[in-house]
Amino acid sequence: MTPAPRPRARAADVVAALAIAGLAAAVYGGALRYFFSQDDFAGLARAGGAIERLAGPWRYLSHQLFFDLMRPLAGLDPLPYHAASLLSHAACGVVLYAWLTRWCGRPAAFAGAAFFVSHAALFTAVYWISAIGDIHALLFALVALRLATASGRLRWAAAPAFVASLLSKESTLLLPAVVGVTLAVGRRPAAAALRDPVHLSLWAIATVWGFLLTLGGRSGTPAESSSLAPYAVALGPNLWENLLTYLGWSANFVLALATGVSDRVDPSVFGYGIGLAVLGVIGTASTGLRSRGWVAAGVAVLAFLVPVLPLRNHTYHYYTYAALSGVAWMLCAALDLALETIGTRAPRPAAARGRAATKVPGGDARGWVIVGVLAACFAINGAAFVRTNETTPFAYPESRADPTVDRALIAARAADAVRAAALPPGSRLACFSTARLATPEAHREAYWERNVRAALLDGLALEVLFPGLEEVRFGGGPPDRNRREYLGVYDAAGRLRVLPPPDPGAPERRRAEP
């Protein structure tokens, strides 16, 4: 049985937790400046009753209940929503640190958690309110993992924690595989872990959940077979291309070595991905790494990536969110072994049956200095990387390459314009681009037109922000004189000019002025 932590160790844990939260804020605090972005408005609309609520289990916790809770508390102010995402990210780092201290010394566990909260691949997960499902899925998964590997009746609480993880996002579906490998560490025979009742209950939950997702499709609607569907799957080269991309993004986290930040299959990082995979296999030969959970960490990386590998149209940086906890665990194990080898901490005793070994409470001061410098480097690099993501322009000076940031800025500009127009209740708004007004016969939408329309969810965003608006539409025919529609003219940056309805008595113009 693991002895109770000494007061000095408890103080070290508190300081480490505060430092981890501080690192998360230092790297990702810029998210607090931004407006709602794209799907955020759908969550607000569901919570406000403007559109139909989610009826099934698919992401119900993150896409429905989160907004149900936040909207009465925060209304339409984006700051508290972003703060909730940032706090949840910091909480993931703290819970990950607590988990890693069961396997390694506190300095190495702190370095692993610092690596995780500072990693720039998680940019969208923290900056986009609607991506909070990735954060909560890992948070509840880590809680479930800790409970499942505890002792006594409390272990059964792992089941509801796992359900909460899946209700946030289905990316942690294979968590039972991580639990099984973790339970097997130190057990004789190791196969006994596979028959553990808590472990079996988690597999039962995963099986039922997987069956429901297969029937309904990953998007919560009947499964779509079209290769153009957002969640279309394929079992071809996309499997290994996605795997090497995600592993490469995880390993190539240094800004100076990155060649781009686009969300697509990235051959430029395949070498880093192969290197991480080879390192993972080689590490299994080390007794010191195995005793620190190296194998379970590698299984966690793969288990949390497998659900997204078949997606042929979606390859996003933030899909690495859960898997990066496994990479952080591997880093922690390697660093802890290195610190022990160079004599900055006492050797670890052999692992107890079915649980991690007892560790030295605080760790050598030199070890803390080393990991402190390392954590500072992680944070500086992460903050610079995030700043690059945030500010890289795209096509037009005011647009941004990152769609989350770009569409938040577009929505904020449009909201400011409608607010300044002070439209009376019951107003209707017909939105047209400057290009569409100049050449109304054009049929193909330019990218920037689609981008503005997507940022405002075809007008739903403005209807949510301004409940007095009866209708907002994009395109179609000219403003209806009889319905007294206001005209909203937007440009590529999302700047919107609201013009009064045409005079019903005036002669109809064949072409509106831009």
Provide the residue ranges of all domains of the chain, joining segments of one domain with +: 28-392, 400-499
Say whether 471 sits in a helix, a strand or coil.
strand
- For residue 2, how many other CB atoms are within 10 A of its CB? 12
Query: Nearest-CA neighbor of 457 among 72, 139, 39?
Result: 39
Cβ contact 181:302 at 8 Å:
no
Residue 458 Cα to chain centre, angstroms? 24
Look-up: residue for tokens 């196969």? 191
Looking at residue 362, its pLDDT comes to: 47
Q: What is the mean pLDDT of the chain?
A: 87
Looking at residue 6, its pLDDT comes to: 61
According to the 3-state scheme, what is the secondary structure of 385-419?
HHHHHHHCEECEEEEECCHHHHHHHHHHHHHHHHH
Cβ contact 472:431 at 8 Å:
yes
Average pLDDT for runs of 10 along the chain of length 514? 58 93 97 96 95 90 96 96 98 98 94 97 96 97 95 93 96 95 77 84 94 66 49 85 95 87 89 96 95 96 95 91 97 94 61 42 74 96 94 84 94 95 91 78 78 94 94 79 82 89 56 44
| Side-chain-facing half-sphere of 488: CA atoms under 13 Å | 32
| Side-chain-facing half-sphere of 496: CA atoms under 13 Å | 30
Q: Give the angle subtended at the CA of 315 by the CAs of 215 and 54, to the nearest 5°.
A: 40
Q: What is the C-alpha separation between 112 and 334, in angstroms, rounded?
A: 10
Widest pairwise Cα distance in the chain: 90
495, burial (CB in 10 Å: exposed 0-12, middle 13-18, buried 19+): middle
Cβ contact 465:45 at 8 Å:
no
Structure tokens at 59: 């992401």
Q: What is the C-alpha separation between 26 and 433, in angstroms, rounded?
A: 38
Cβ contact 428:481 at 8 Å:
no
Say whether 474 sits in a helix, a strand or coil.
strand
Structure tokens at 182: 């973790």
- pTM of this structure: 0.90
